[in-house]
């Protein structure tokens, strides 16, 4: 609650400057309100007009929104298009030599790729995929480092109508295996390894291991991009080098025209069960969302140099690296490395070198860069910047103010963008030439996005106490289903109490200006460094260790990461005898989770108890565990616990 109070008292307001308003795509609140009114008056017509103006259709649509099988909505269903055509071919006539991608490698080497070149490469690789028998509707896993090739792989899948599922390179072989089998993928596109922070790290072994775990019989092809030149194991039956496949192919490839609702991709994300869910996105509605949000929220101009720092393994890297900027014909920066190598000035140097105008990153990166060198931005010329953005988690007002004054030199509006893997594009975010901004709030919904806050009964609440964030009407870029599990989709996002609204899974409240303040998740999902982690996933990883009998995982506030993972573990044998033994075992379990899920899921802290605090009916009292993790005094009555004494044990922090 103290958090809510503190943000409610935020009084700093920053109006867009006259210069910004003058040149903005949407200028002034009146224009924003007019767009919202247009959407309210004729909802389908509003989106239909945008879809006609924005997308190049191979066959125009005649039906806008089909709600007959709600919540399985269909948008623009009888239209046909191709996303790769919209991202590449459309620019060939007007700006073939414009840089599509400025790629900066970990070691600083810069490669520029024009729209003409990128088009050629995507066609060549698409032909390569076809030569391996990969066709429309097949699922293809992309497990690659940040590279031009990762974007080429995604675009090539889109070109032939194959459905990609990108798996973040930091996920373990187990996580990769889970995704390969769930999607029943026929191919994996990977690299021998990746460079990060001056070090070469292998990637291919994780693919080999994942495929050896069984259930992957459908995988007939593994395409390997040579990046580090490291040793790789090779299976002649299935493995093929990227360059061998690529070089022999012609650089023209007719796009596969697909229906508007054809799945463009599946992206796995954490939910409140142990099993990640495959969020399935559409072709047209998704593309439209990425394009309109670039125009509205990023105020996109053809002269911009756009840089979104997200990895293509996350939704942000899909919408604002692989698709949106290309569809808009933008020049964008793609970075292979890490913000702290060779030093914590890397981002600022890159903004200076590439004259970046629009910079989009996560609060966790901002917080860690403040800590590592709050004055460093001053050593660089950041005058090219005109707009800053954040995504992934609430930004604390102090970090916001630093971003605004030090990086943006009090000149650049900040767009704090609230959205999710499931929503495909921004939902609540400032239109920077219209809204006054305040530190810590994502402000107001985009035109045509009917976001509001409701109570447990699904009724709208208008006071400042907050409740559940929902979106009342279907919107084009939203999730279509969970791959292979439509029931989970329906139950999870459209529970009966919400009367047909989309339940986002976040709690939020509104201030007196109607601005939204996101308070956090309402389910058992943590947000660690802007990444979603299911507590149940980490718990199941822990209990799969032969030494562990039971585990409960909670989050606690963390200065840099936003949230840290704290695990309470009951061993099958007795508790570790002393601090040294506990420390050793905790490290072993942390590494175990790293191997089971990926290093991002490693608990920050592990505490051992003989039991966990439970009610008499055996339910783990997570609320109590959260308080224990935070070091808060327990004020609530614990007499109903089966084992109140256990709390003392669990308070012991392993140092
Ligand atoms: O809790 C919200 C938080 O991140 C969740 C979505 O995570 P994911 O699907 O991984 O997508 C992250 C990138 C879009 C949301 O449910 N979140 C995202 N953006 C914000 C945020 N919380 C507060 N403010 C934001 N701007």
* Residue 610, domain CATH: 3.30.300.30
CA distance 502 to 474: 8
Q: Is 562 left (phi over 0), alpha (psi -120 to 50) or beta?
A: left
Of the three residues 319, 339, 359, the one that is the final residue of a domain is: 339
Q: Both tokens of residue 571?
A: 């061993």
Q: What pLDDT is stored for residue 646 in this prediction? A: 87
Q: In sequence order, what E strands does 228-384 have?
A: 239-241, 258-259, 265-269, 277-281, 305-308, 331-335, 358-361
Helices 535-543, 579-596: axis angle to 10 degrees equals 110
Q: Is 490 annotated as belonging to a binding site?
A: no
Is 560 inside any structural domain?
yes
Residue whose tokens read 């005094």:
633
**Within-domain flag for 444:** no
Distance (Å, whole) CA 371 – CA 394: 18
- DSSP code per residue over 147-193: SHHHHHHHHHHHHHT-EEEE--TTS-HHHHHHHHHHHT-SEEEEESE
What is the domain-level CATH number for residue 94?
3.40.50.12780
Nearest-angstrom CA–CA distance, 423 and 421:
6
Domain boundary residue among 288, 320, 339? 339
pLDDT reported for residue 4? 46
Running along the chain, 655 residues long, what does each successive block of 10 average in pLDDT? 50 94 98 98 98 98 98 98 98 98 98 98 98 98 98 98 98 97 98 97 98 96 97 97 96 97 97 90 98 98 98 98 98 97 97 98 95 95 98 94 97 98 98 97 98 96 88 98 98 97 96 94 92 93 95 95 96 93 96 95 96 86 92 82 84 81
Distance of CA 200 to the CA centre of its chain: 25
The Cα 114–Cα 98 span in angstroms is: 5
511 falls within a domain? no
3-state secondary structure of 276: coil
Tell me if residue 145 falls in helix, strand or coil: coil
616 in a structural domain: yes
Give the residues surrounding ligand 1 with Cβ less than 6 Å away: 269, 315-316, 391-394, 416-421, 442, 504-506, 518, 521, 527, 532
Omega before 592 within 30 of 0, i.e. cis:
no
Shortest-distance Cα residue to atom 7 of ligand 1: 420
Q: Nearest C-alpha to atom 13 of ligand 1 is from which residue?
A: 392
The CA distance from 385 to 389, in Å, is 11
Cβ contacts of residue 650 below 8 Å, gap of 6+? 568, 607, 609, 612, 613, 625, 628
Does 352 appear as a known binding residue?
A: no
CA of 234 to the centre of ligand 1 (A): 39
Residue 410 resides in a domain? no
| 384, part of any domain | no
d(CA 117, CA 191): 21
Residue 106 maps to a domain: yes
Sign of CA dihedral 124, 129, 132, 135: negative
User: What confidence score (pLDDT) does residue 648 get?
Assistant: 87
The domain total for the chain is 2
Whose C-alpha lies nearest to ligand 1, atom 11? 420
Cis check for the bond before 71: say yes or no (omega within 30 of 0). yes
Whether 318 is in a domain gets the answer yes
- DSSP H or E run through 114: strand 110-114
Query: Domain range holding 563?
Result: 529-650
Give residue 418 CA to ligand 1 midpoint distance, Å. Answer: 6
Q: 74: which residues sit within 8 A by CB, 6+ positions away? A: 63, 65, 66, 260, 261
Q: By CB neighbour count within 10 A (0-12 exposed, 13-18 middle, 19+ buried), where does 137 fall?
A: middle
Q: What pLDDT, on the 0 to 100 scale, is given for residue 235?
A: 97
> Of 339, 371, 398, which residue sits at a domain end?
339
Q: What is the pLDDT of residue 9?
A: 64
Tell me the pairing of strands 277-281 and 265-269: antiparallel
- Quick one: tokens of 348? 């600022």
Q: Between 43-54 and 28-41, two packed helices, what is the crossing angle to 10 degrees?
A: 110
- Calculate how far, in angstroms, residue 242's C-alpha sits from the geometric centre of ligand 1: 34
Q: What is the pLDDT of residue 1?
A: 34
ipTM of the assembly? 1.00
H helix or E strand, kind and range, residue 565: strand 562-571
Token couple for 373: 């060198």
CA–CA distance, 121 with 151 (Å, rounded to integer): 10
The structure tokens listed for 479 are 């999730």
pTM given for the model: 0.95
Atom of ligand 1 nearest to the CA of 416: 26
- Encoded tokens for 452: 């509001």
Going by C-alpha positions, the residue among 430, 450, 449 that lies closest to residue 440 is: 430
Which atom of ligand 1 is found nearest the CA of 395? 24
């Amino acid at each position: 609650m103290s958090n809510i109070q503190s943000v409610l008292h935020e009084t700093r307001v920053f109006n867009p400057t006259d210069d910004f308003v003058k040149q903005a795509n949407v200028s002034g609140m009146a224009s924003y309100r007019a767009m919202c009114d247009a959407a309210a008056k004729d909802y389908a017509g509003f989106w239909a007009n945008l879809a006609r103006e924005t997308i190049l259709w191979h066959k125009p649509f005649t039906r806008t929104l089909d709600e007959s099988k709600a919540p399985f909505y269909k948008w623009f269903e009888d239209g046909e298009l191709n996303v790769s055509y919209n991202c590449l071919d459309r620019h060939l006539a007007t700006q073939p030599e414009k840089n599509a991608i400025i790629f900066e490698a970990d070691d600083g080497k810069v490669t520029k790729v024009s729209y003409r070149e990128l088009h050629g490469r995507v066609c060549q690789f698409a032909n390569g995929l076809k030569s391996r028998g990969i066709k429309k509707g097949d699922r293809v896993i992309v497990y690659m480092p940040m590279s031009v090739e990762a974007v080429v792989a995604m675009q090539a899948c889109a070109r032939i109508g194959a459905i990609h599922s990108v798996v973040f390179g930091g996920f373990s072989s187990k996580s990769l295996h889970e995704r390969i089998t769930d999607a029943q993928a026929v191919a994996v596109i990977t690299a021998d390894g990746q460079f990060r922070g001056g070090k070469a790290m292998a990637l291919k072994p994780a693919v080999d291991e994942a495929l050896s775990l069984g259930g992957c019989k459908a995988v007939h092809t593994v395409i390997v991009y040579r990046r580090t030149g490291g040793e790789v194991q090779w299976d002649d039956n299935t493995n093929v080098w990227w360059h061998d496949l690529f070089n022999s192919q012609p650089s023209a490839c007719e796009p596969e025209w697909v229906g508007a609702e054809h799945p463009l991709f599946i992206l796995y994300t954490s939910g409140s069960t142990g099993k990640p869910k495959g969020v399935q996105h559409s072709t047209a509605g998704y593309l439209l969302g990425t394009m309109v949000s670039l125009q509205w929220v990023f105020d996109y101009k053809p002269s911009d140099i756009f840089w979104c720092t997200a990895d293509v393994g996350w939704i942000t890297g899909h919408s604002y690296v692989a698709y949106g900027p290309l569809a808009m014909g933008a020049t964008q920066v793609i970075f292979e490395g890490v913000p702290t190598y060779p030093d914590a000035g890397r981002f600022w140097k890159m903004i200076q070198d590439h004259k970046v105008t629009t910079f989009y990153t996560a609060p966790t990166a901002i917080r860690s860069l403040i800590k590592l060198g709050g004055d460093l931005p001053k050593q660089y010329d950041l005058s090219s910047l005109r707009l800053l953005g954040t995504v992934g988690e609430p930004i604390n007002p102090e970090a916001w103010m630093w971003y605004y004054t030090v990086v943006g030199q009090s000149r650049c509006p900040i767009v704090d963008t609230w959205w999710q893997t499931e929503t495909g594009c921004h939902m609540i975010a400032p239109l920077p030439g219209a809204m006054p901004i305040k530190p810590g709030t994502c402000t107001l919904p985009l035109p045509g996005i009917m976001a509001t806050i409701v109570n447990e009964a699904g009724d709208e609440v208008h006071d400042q106490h907050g409740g559940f964030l929902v979106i009342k009407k279907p919107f084009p870029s939203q999730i279509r289903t969970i791959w292979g599990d439509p029931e989970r989709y329906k139950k999870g996002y459209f529970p009966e109490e919400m009367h047909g609204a989309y339940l986002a899974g976040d709690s939020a409240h509104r201030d007196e200006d109607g601005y939204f303040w996101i308070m956090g998740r309402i389910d058992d999902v943590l947000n660690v460094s802007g990444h979603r982690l299911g507590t149940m996933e980490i718990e199941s990883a822990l209990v799969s260790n032969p030494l562990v009998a039971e585990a409960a995982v909670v989050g606690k506030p963390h200065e840099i990461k936003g949230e840290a993972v704290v695990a309470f573990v009951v061993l099958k044998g007795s508790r570790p005898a002393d601090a040294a033994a506990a420390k050793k075992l905790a490290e072993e379990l942390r590494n175990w989770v790293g191997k089971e899920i990926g290093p991002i899921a490693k608990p920050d802290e592990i505490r051992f108890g003989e039991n966990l605090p439970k009610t008499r009916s055996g339910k783990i009292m997570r609320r109590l565990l959260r308080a224990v993790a935070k070091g808060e005094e327990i004020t609530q009555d614990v007499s109903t616990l089966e084992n109140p004494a256990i709390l003392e044990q669990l308070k012991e922090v392993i140092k």
